[in-house]
Structure 1
Amino acid sequence: MSHLIFRRYRPSDARAVSQLFREVYGDHYVQPDVYLPHMISQHTAEGRWKSMLAVDDVRVLGHAALCHESSPQSAELALSVVHPAAQGQSIATRLGRELLLQAGALGFKSVLIKQVTHHPYTQRMAANIGFHSTGVLPDYVPSPFAEPHPETIVMGCHVVEGQARPLPDIPWPERYRGFMQHLSSLFGTHPEMPPQPSIPLQIKQHHHRFDMVIHRLTKRLLDQIRQLPGHWMISTRLALSRHFAEDLRSLTTLGFSFTGLMPAPGSHGWFALFHRGARPQSLNLHFPYMQQLHDDLQQNTEALGSARSAA
């Protein structure tokens, strides 16, 4: 077996990295930039991708990167790929662990990861290197595995050593109290969260679903959401606040299910995740609380469908 070396990306690696994605994913990878070596070079030259490679004497066998767009304080561990000939050597784990060690020196306070659910390996790897799963993003992206249905994603968060990402110290509804207390034990709590900048109301279509971002859920806005087409699949990110229990009740009456949390952009604050309209699917998730969220969503979606059929 040839000697394996882990090193940082070099400008001359762009074509080999692109070829690696083609060999592993064919034409189905969800980030089209990887199919253009020029785009890989551009992202790395402009500092948006910080990549690590696993190479032997002949070729690139593994790749992962810290990626960031608008927020300079948070990055995403992404673009992780390992050639089939090199699987079983913990390459993705070693690349991810090295990038997390670099995250603080690069100025990041937290790192996110989107874990696929088509197989359990990404979820296990994320847990092994220090990520904590916080939420489920149902039917989130087109499948990178050439499957006919979208891929559900599990969101994970890693706080860089010496940094903090506390949750608000608020009462949690009974159904999700254990989950929220678990996250509070991991990330800490703060009795008075710093004031959040007002988040403009947003709604955008992504493939088959509509994404909403909400700063404060008012009665007037609830009435307007109620008027949206019932067949729309809607994912909602709602600023987590002391109103969470009330917001949960209100959105549940509109057919939404709570699917966890994810960090808000910037250095503090969290979103509560809600979803309406998921497709029926059975998943075996690595983390029990994520399994509970997924199962609740499936049960609520089935009940909502039955109620509509009977109407």
Structure 2
Amino acid sequence: MTPLIIRAYRPSDANAVSRLFQEVYGDHYAQPDVYLPNMINQHNAEGHWQSMLAVDDTAVLGHAALRRDTPSNTAELALTVVHPAAQGQDIATRLGRELLRQAGSLGLKSASIMQVTHHPYTQRIAKKLGFHNTGLLPDYVPSPFGEPLPETMVMCCHMIEGHTRPLPNIQWPESCRALMQHLCSVFGTHQDTPRLATSLQIEQHQHRVDIIIQHLNDDLLEQLRQLPGHWVISARLELSRHFARDLCSFSALGFAFTGLMPTSGDNGWFALFHRGVQVRSLDLGCVYMQQLHDDLQQNASATRSQRCADAPIGARSAA
């Protein structure tokens, strides 16, 4: 058997990396950049990707990358793909481990993984590499396996040696206390201090509207309340000592809490809230993520029932 080598990406690898994604995923991969070799080169040249390869004498057999928006002190371990003929050699784990080893020299304080929930192998890799599950991103990307429903992703976080990302030291609401106390035990706590608000962001992503909020006030709450009820909305709110109040406010608007994800520009966290979700059953293999998923499904069911009850009689009959 030809020895397998783990090495850094070179510009001459672009075509081979693109072919690898096509061979494994066909045309279903959620990141279209991988189908353009020039984009793979551009992302690596600009520092948005830090790609690592597994190669033998003849071919590129595996790829993974640290992907980030610069400047940022956190990156996503992503774009992991292994040729079927080379599976069973822990290639994805070896690629991830080498990238994490280099993360500190790149100025990173933490790394994240978005696990594909229909791909248990991804979840096992994250655990091997020392990542901890922190939240759910429901119906987040089109299925890379050609499934009709979009993929729900599990957000995971790993701290680079010497760095911390603590949570506020507060009394957590009972509905999510088990998860939040678990995350406090993993990442630590600190006395929360107010942060300066930055710009509000809203973007359309296929079927979903993403909103990023640094500070929730009554005026913004009223504006959120007036958004169309049929919109699928994923909101990220900076986690603060006001979390219990914010959770209550979002719940009143029909949102479900789906955990945490790291912020990109500092050492904080976003609290995740979601409204509108596809009906589905998932086995997530993690008691905390499973509870978030089950709560989200129950919330969606209750919201649909309430909408039906509030609809005019004629509209209900037509439905």
Give yes or no for TM over 0.5. Answer: yes
| SS of residue matched to 1:309 | helix
Q: TM-score, normalised by structure 2?
A: 0.94
Unaligned 5+ segments in structure 1 are: none
CA distance in 1, matches of 2:38, 2:200: 35
1:265 aligns with 2:264: yes
Contact 1:74 1:109 in 2 (8 A): yes
Letter in 1 for 2:203: K
Query: 5 Å matches for 1:228-267?
Result: 228-267=227-266
Query: Comparing 21-30 with 66-75, which one deviates more in the overlay?
Result: 66-75
The match for 2:66 is 66
Structure 1 residues 202, 277: closer, same or farther in 2, change over 3 A? same
> Are 1:152 and 2:152 counterparts?
yes
Shift of 1:286: 2.5
The Cα shift of 1:197 comes to: 3.7
**Match runs of 1:157-172 below 5 Å:** 157-172=157-172
Any conservation in 2 of the 1:143–1:150 contact (CA below 8 Å)?
yes
CA distance in 2, matches of 1:265, 1:38: 26
Offset at residue 261 of structure 1 (A): 0.5
Q: Distance in 2 between matches of 1:298 and 1:81?
A: 31
Deviation at 1:119, TM superposition (A): 2.0
Partner amino acid for 2:75? A
Taking the aligned partners of 2:74 and 2:195, their CA distance within structure 1 comes to 17
The one-letter code matched in structure 2 to 1:176 is: C
Kindly tell me: are residues 47 and 203 of structure 1, through their superposed partners in 2, closer, same or farther at Cα, counting changes over 3 Å?
closer
Written as runs of structure 1 = structure 2, the 5 A alignment for 1:95-244 is: 95-193=95-193, 195-244=194-243
Cα displacement (A) at 1:203: 1.6
Sequence identity (%)? 67
Q: Give the whole-Å Cα distance in 2 for the aligned partners of 1:176 and 1:228.
A: 26
Q: Which residue of 1 aligns with 2:15?
A: 15
Equivalents in 1 of 2:147, 2:112: separation in Å?
25
Q: Where does residue 282 of structure 2 map in the other structure? A: 283
Secondary structure of 2:28's match? coil
Q: Secondary structure at the match of 1:64?
A: strand
Return 297-306 or 213-222, whichever deviates more: 213-222
Cα distance in 1 for partners of 2:153, 2:192 equals 31
Contact residue 155 and residue 261 of structure 2 kept, 8 A: yes
SS of 1:143's partner is coil
Partner residue in 2 for 1:302: 301
Matched, 1:77 2:77: yes
Cα displacement (A) at 1:185: 0.9
Q: Could you say what the CA RMSD is over the residues aligned between the two structures, in angstroms?
A: 1.2
1:54 equivalent in structure 2:
54
The SS at the match of 1:105 is: helix
Counterpart-to-counterpart distance in 1, 2:131 and 2:71: 19
Q: Is the 8 A contact 2:111 2:159 kept in 1?
A: yes
SS at match of 1:65: strand
What amino acid is aligned across from residue 304 of structure 1 in structure 2?
Answer: T
1:72 Cα shift?
A: 3.1
> How far apart, CA to CA, are the structure 2 residues paired with 1:199 and 1:133?
27
Q: Report runs of 4+ in structure 1 exceeding 4 Å deviation.
A: none
Equivalent residues of 2:16, 2:60 under 8 A apart: yes
Given that residues 48 and 70 in structure 2 are in contact (C-alpha distance below 8 angstroms), is that contact kept between their aligned partners in structure 1? no
TM superposition shift of 1:2: 2.6
1:89 is aligned to: 89
Alpha-carbon distance between aligned partners in 1 of 2:112 and 2:71, rounded to the nearest angstrom: 12
What do the CA deviations read for 1:54-74 (whole angstroms, capped 9, x no partner)? Answer: 112221110001111133311
Aligned length, in residue pairs: 310
| 1:182-212 CA-partner distances (Å, limit 9, x unpaired) | 101111111134x534221222111001111
Alignment partners' CA distance in 2, 1:294 and 1:305: 17
Residue 7 of structure 2 aligns with an amino acid whose one-letter code is R
Using the TM superposition, give the Cα deviation of residue 279 of structure 1 relative to its aligned residue in structure 2, in angstroms.
Answer: 0.8
* Letter of the 1:223 counterpart: E
- Partner letter of residue 39 of structure 2? M
Query: Are the equivalent residues in 1 in contact too, given 2:72–2:264 (CA < 8 A)?
Result: no
TM-score normalised by L of structure 1: 0.97
Contact (CA 8 Å) 1:196, 1:269: kept in 2 or not?
no
The answer (yes or no) to whether the contact 2:256–2:273 under 8 Å persists in 1 is yes
Q: Distance in 1 between matches of 2:263 and 2:80?
A: 23
